[in-house]
Amino acid sequence: MFEKYFQEKKSLRVMNIESLLAFNEALPQEIKLQTIEDISVMLQFFHDIREILYYNQEFLNKLIILDLQWLADAFKNVITDKNHAEEDLLEDASEWDKFNETGELSVELLSAIWKMNNNGYIEHKDEIMPYMEKLGLLASMDDQFQKWYVPCMNKIPFHTGSFTDYPASSIICYMFDVLPSGIFQRLVATCMQIPWEIFSDGDRGCIYQTAAVFVLQDQHHNILLGMTETEIQLQVFVTDGEVDIATCQQIKETIDNILCNLSNTFQKNVKFHVAFKCKPVGFCDSEKSAVIIDSKFTRADFQCPSCPARRKHKIISKDITKYWKKEQQQKNVDKEGNLTRPSTEFILNVVSRKLHGIPSSILAASLGVDMEENSPICIEEDRFRILYKWKCKCSSNMDHLKELVKILRENEQGEAADYHKYIEQIEANATKIEDRIYRALLKTKEECPNLCRLDICRALKFIERNDVIDELNAQWES
Ligand SMILES: [Zn+2]
For residue 284, what pLDDT is reported? 94
How far does the centroid of ligand 1 lie from the alpha carbon of residue 326, in Å? 23
Report yes or no on 166 lying in a domain: no
Kindly provide the b/e burial profile for residues 284-310, where b requires at least 16 CB atoms within 10 angstroms of the residue's own CB. bbeebbbbbebebbeeeeeebeebeee
CA distance linking residue 193 with residue 290, whole number of Å: 32
The parent domain of residue 97 ranges over 70-153
DSSP β-ladder status, 291-293 and 200-201? unpaired
Q: State how many domains the chain has.
A: 4
How far does the centroid of ligand 1 lie from the alpha carbon of residue 324, in Å? 19
Same domain, 132 and 248: no
Same domain, 403 and 477: yes
Report yes or no on 163 lying in a domain: no
For residue 414, what pLDDT is reported? 42
Report yes or no on 419 lying in a domain: yes
For residue 329, what pLDDT is reported? 44
Report yes or no on 131 lying in a domain: yes
For residue 113, what pLDDT is reported? 87
For residue 228, what pLDDT is reported? 94
How far does the centroid of ligand 1 lie from the alpha carbon of residue 237, in Å? 21
Same domain, 404 and 258: no
How far does the centroid of ligand 1 lie from the alpha carbon of residue 249, in Å? 23
How far does the centroid of ligand 1 lie from the alpha carbon of residue 377, in Å? 40
How far does the centroid of ligand 1 lie from the alpha carbon of residue 281, in Å? 10
Same domain, 377 and 429: yes
How far does the centroid of ligand 1 lie from the alpha carbon of residue 322, in Å? 18
For residue 415, what pLDDT is reported? 45
How far does the centroid of ligand 1 lie from the alpha carbon of residue 316, in Å? 11
How far does the centroid of ligand 1 lie from the alpha carbon of residue 217, in Å? 33
Same domain, 300 and 179: yes
For residue 312, what pLDDT is reported? 93
CA distance linking residue 14 with residue 27, whole number of Å: 21
For residue 150, what pLDDT is reported? 93
**Helix, strand, or coil (residue 39):** helix
Task: State which residues of the chain have pLDDT below 50.
Answer: 329-331, 413-417
Same domain, 351 and 427: yes
DSSP 217-278: TTSSEEEEEEE-SSEEEEEEEESSS---HHHHHHHHHHHHHHHHHHHHHH-TT--EEEEEES
Dihedral sign, CA of 253, 256, 261, 264?
negative
Residues 6 or more apart whose Cβ sits within 8 Å of residue 223 = 191, 196, 213, 214, 215, 216, 234, 235, 236, 251
For residue 156, what pLDDT is reported? 94
How far does the centroid of ligand 1 lie from the alpha carbon of residue 93, in Å? 48
Report yes or no on 347 lying in a domain: yes
Answer whether 243's CB lies under 8 Å from 144's CB: no
Same domain, 61 and 81: no
For residue 235, what pLDDT is reported? 97
